[in-house]
């Protein structure tokens, strides 16, 4: 059992809080295992009876009848009839429940879906309700409004490097090489050979992720377009891009004309399915978001690598993606930083230029500026990497994460340098 303490602690803290706990994240990231194994084991350890834990996997064909909201509601009310007992209800992949017409009302559109079922169950004081879902649309503003503020989201990501290393049989360096290549989906750890791991990740795309997106959004004939957009995004992690640029790539590389709006819509579908994240650009000194272009990162680097048949293994982009995911795992809001500065050119005239900071990480009163660099051993390279950090002009902590294992240190500018493995394994570096 991989200990996912951060998520277990969250569930424990929210136990019997009167809210529906909604566990979201990409499919195969471990949501179900967290709920049905790790959290269930905790409940049993504190005296909850097995018969008071009701589990229903809605993506299992054995439970297909309960994708009907009326059947689901009736089943759960029957199972929780004893009002003297507290029941813990686990519903896996809640988005599988369909929306139907109310059979008791004719000639007037009156839809019933999983939200209605959950709202009804939440009125019962003897039910503590937990659901998982693989699509962010299930937590859209409309649904949150219908929950009347009684939905509590817990986002589960693929394994962090720390979680991965805790279950990896080799040393830290070997774990890093494995993680960079195959990512952190839990079942990857059970595969032995490159062929097994590659096939698993590639099959997830075709049989699970893309099929799920097409089915859910009623996309019938455009799988090739979805594939191509994913390939383009996979090739451009860490690079500025937007829907318009991707449409132009289609035109130049494939001689296919595709509307920018369509590309933007498909990118949003990938984000909704937790396949990719987008990082907005933020003007540090102007204190405003710049807008397009922006950057995209994969929620799991192994999926990105498998998408490209493990051919484009640029260490700098892979490391940047992993750092982004780690910051998300640590619950920071993450932007790409832009710092404008003025200098005098050779003609003695004032000129303006923009420098990029890989990440600005914010959480409450905490703020960090983080640069990802393969190496800063060369003085010229170091100055190039920290130029943007030196021009920020505030006192928040500035960190350069390098690939090499180094003894962490601060330079004469107060900039902190640390190796990637230690950065990923020591969360205290960013505590306050």
Instruction: For the chain, list the domains and their CATH numbers.
Output: 5-155 (3.40.50.300), 161-278+299-309 (no CATH)
3-state secondary structure the chain: CCCCHHHHHHHHHHCCCCCEEEEECCCCCCHHHHHHHHHHHHHHHCCCCHHHEEEEECCCHHHHHHHCHHHHHHHHHHHCCCCCCCEEEEEECHHHCCCEECCCCCCCCCEECHHHHHHHHHCCCCEEEEEEECCHHHHCHHHHHHCCCCEEEEECCCCCHHHHHHHCCCCHHHHHHHHHHHCCCHHHHHCCCHHHHHHHHHHHHHHHHHHHHHHHCCCCCCHHHHHHHHHHHHHCCCCCECHHHHHHHHHHHHCCCCCHHHHHHHHHHHHHCCCEEEECEEECCCCEECCCCEEEEECCHHHHHHHCCCCCCCHHHHHHHHHHHHHHHCCCEEEEEEEEEEEECCCCCEEEEEEEEEEEEEECCEEEEEEEECCCCCHHHHHHHHHHHHCCCCCCEEEEEECCCCCCEECCCCCEEEEHHHHHHCHHHHCC
Interior angle at CA 157, CA 155 and CA 162, nearest 5: 125
Exposure string of 25-44, with b = 16+ CB inside 10 Å and e = fewer, is: bbbbbbbbbbbbebbbeebe
User: What is the spatial distance between Cα 75 and Cα 69, in angstroms, rounded to a whole number?
Assistant: 10
CA 172 to chain centre: 24
Query: φ and ψ at 106, to 5 degrees?
Result: -105, 150
Tokens of 180: 């960079």
Query: φ and ψ at 60, to 5 degrees?
Result: -90, 130
**Tens place of pLDDT per residue across the chain (432 aa):** 788 999 999 999 999 999 899 898 898 999 999 999 999 999 999 999 999 999 999 989 999 999 999 999 999 999 999 999 999 999 998 888 999 999 999 888 999 988 889 989 988 999 999 999 877 666 555 555 666 677 788 999 999 999 999 999 999 999 999 999 999 999 999 999 999 999 999 999 888 888 888 888 888 767 888 888 999 999 999 899 999 988 888 877 777 788 899 999 999 999 988 999 999 999 998 889 988 899 999 999 999 999 999 998 889 999 999 999 999 999 999 999 999 877 777 777 777 888 999 999 999 999 999 999 998 988 888 988 999 999 998 999 999 999 999 999 999 999 999 999 999 999 998 875
Strand pairing of 295-298 and 276-279?
antiparallel
Dihedral Cα 332, 336, 341, 347, nearest 10 deg: 160
Give the per-residue pLDDT at 256: 75
Q: For residue 364, is the peptide bond before it cis, meaning its omega torsion is within 30 degrees of 0?
A: no
User: What is the spatial distance between Cα 3 and Cα 13, in angstroms, rounded to a whole number?
Assistant: 17
Give the per-residue pLDDT at 136: 65
User: What is the spatial distance between Cα 321 and Cα 317, in angstroms, rounded to a whole number?
Assistant: 6
């Amino acid at each position: 059992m991989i200990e996912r303490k951060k998520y277990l602690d969250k569930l424990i803290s929210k136990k019997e809080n009167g809210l529906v706990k909604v566990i979201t994240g990409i499919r195969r990231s471990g949501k179900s295992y967290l709920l049905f194994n790790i959290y269930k084991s905790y409940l049993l350890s504190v005296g909850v009876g097995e018969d008071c834990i009701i589990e229903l996997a809605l993506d299992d064909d054995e439970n297909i009848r309960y994708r009907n909201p009326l059947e689901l509601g009736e089943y759960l009310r029957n199972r929780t009839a004893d009002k003297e007992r507290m029941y813990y209800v686990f519903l896996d992949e809640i988005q599988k429940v369909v929306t139907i017409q109310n059979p008791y009302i004719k000639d007037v559109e009156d839809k019933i879906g999983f939200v209605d079922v959950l709202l009804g169950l939440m009125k019962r004081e003897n039910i503590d309700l937990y659901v998982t879902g693989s699509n962010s649309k299930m937590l859209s503003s409309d649904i949150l409004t219908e929950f009347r503020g009684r939905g509590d989201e817990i986002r589960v990501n693929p394994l962090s490097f720390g979680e991965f290393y805790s279950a990896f049989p080799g040393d830290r360096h070997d774990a890093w090489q494995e993680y960079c290549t195959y990512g952190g989906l839990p079942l990857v750890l059970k595969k032995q050979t490159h062929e097994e791991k590659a096939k698993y990740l590639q099959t997830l795309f075709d049989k699970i992720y893309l099929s799920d997106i097409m089915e859910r959004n009623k996309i019938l004939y455009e799988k090739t377009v979805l594939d191509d957009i994913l390939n383009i995004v996979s090739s451009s992690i860490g690079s500025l891009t937007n829907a318009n640029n991707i449409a132009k790539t289609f035109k130049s590389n494939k001689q296919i004309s595709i509307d920018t709006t369509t590309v933007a819509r498909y990118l949003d579908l990938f984000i909704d399915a937790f396949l990719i994240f987008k990082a907005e650009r933020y003007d540090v000194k102007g204190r405003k978001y710049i807008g397009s272009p922006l950057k995209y990162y994969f929620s799991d680097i192994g999926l990105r690598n498998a998408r490209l048949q493990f051919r484009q293994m640029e260490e700098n982009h892979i490391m940047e993606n992993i750092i982004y995911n780690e910051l998300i795992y640590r619950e920071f809001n993450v932007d790409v930083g832009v710092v404008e500065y003025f200098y005098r050119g050779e003609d003695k005239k004032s000129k303006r230029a923009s420098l990029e900071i890989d990440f600005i990480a914010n959480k409450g009163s905490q703020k960090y500026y983080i640069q990802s660099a393969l190496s800063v051993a060369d003085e010229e390279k170091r100055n190039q990497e920290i130029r943007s950090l030196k021009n920020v002009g505030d006192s928040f902590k500035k960190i350069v994460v390098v690939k090499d294992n180094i003894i962490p240190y601060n330079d004469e500018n107060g900039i902190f340098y640390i190796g990637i493995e230690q950065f990923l394994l020591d969360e205290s570096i960013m505590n306050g």
